[in-house]
Amino acid sequence: MAKATNTKPRQVKNFGLAFFFLGLIVIAVQLINYIITVMPAAEDAVLDVGDGTTIAVSSLSSSYLTLVIIALLVYGGTWFGVIRSMNWARWIAVILAILTAVLAVQSFAQVVAAGFSDMVGLGLSLAQLIAAGWVLALAFRQDVHQWYGKKTQSQTQS
């Protein structure tokens, strides 16, 4: 019995799942940042940004809410393209995974520099790094590459 040609290979499905988790983690991080800024304890808290300049944590609320919305739109739109087997979405997913990995390494370095005092930050940066690595590991597998390449060829022929 022949296998249907339109059935997604397992690794293609895993690629979509990996990108979903990556987007979920990125959105969760931004949502946590937003929630922290609207907590009552944040009213008096300030961040020292260097040179004696301080910023009230509560004033960052609208910025973090904007980042949550942008992350939802970008990662959600890309995930929709990934599950619809659009090749452009695979490349956007790769770019987003690379950016997330770089930012996760930076966040991890900050946690290490602070003497591992921020365990939540450590956990979130490691989760982002693992999810980004999962996406990148699957994006260039031969069966995933062929699946998205096949979809591109069939779209240009019709």
- 126 within a domain of the structure (yes/no): yes
Specify the number of domains making up the chain: 1
**Residue 109 contacts by C-beta under 8 Å, 6 or more apart in sequence?**
none
- 92 within a domain of the structure (yes/no): yes
- 51 within a domain of the structure (yes/no): yes
48: containing domain: 10-152
Q: How confident is the model at residue 44 (pLDDT cuts 50, 70, 90)?
A: confident
- 134 within a domain of the structure (yes/no): yes
CA dist 39 and 34 (Å) reads 9
**Residue 139 contacts by C-beta under 8 Å, 6 or more apart in sequence?**
15, 90, 93, 94, 97
CA dist 126 and 123 (Å) reads 5
- 50 within a domain of the structure (yes/no): yes
Say whether pLDDT at 125 is over 70.
yes
Please give the pLDDT value at position 5.
58
Q: How confident is the model at residue 64 (pLDDT cuts 50, 70, 90)?
A: confident
- Once rounded to an integer, what is the mean pLDDT over residues 36-57? 78
- 2 within a domain of the structure (yes/no): no
pTM exceeds 0.75, yes or no: yes
Q: Is 47 strand, coil or helix?
A: strand
- 3 within a domain of the structure (yes/no): no
- 157 within a domain of the structure (yes/no): no
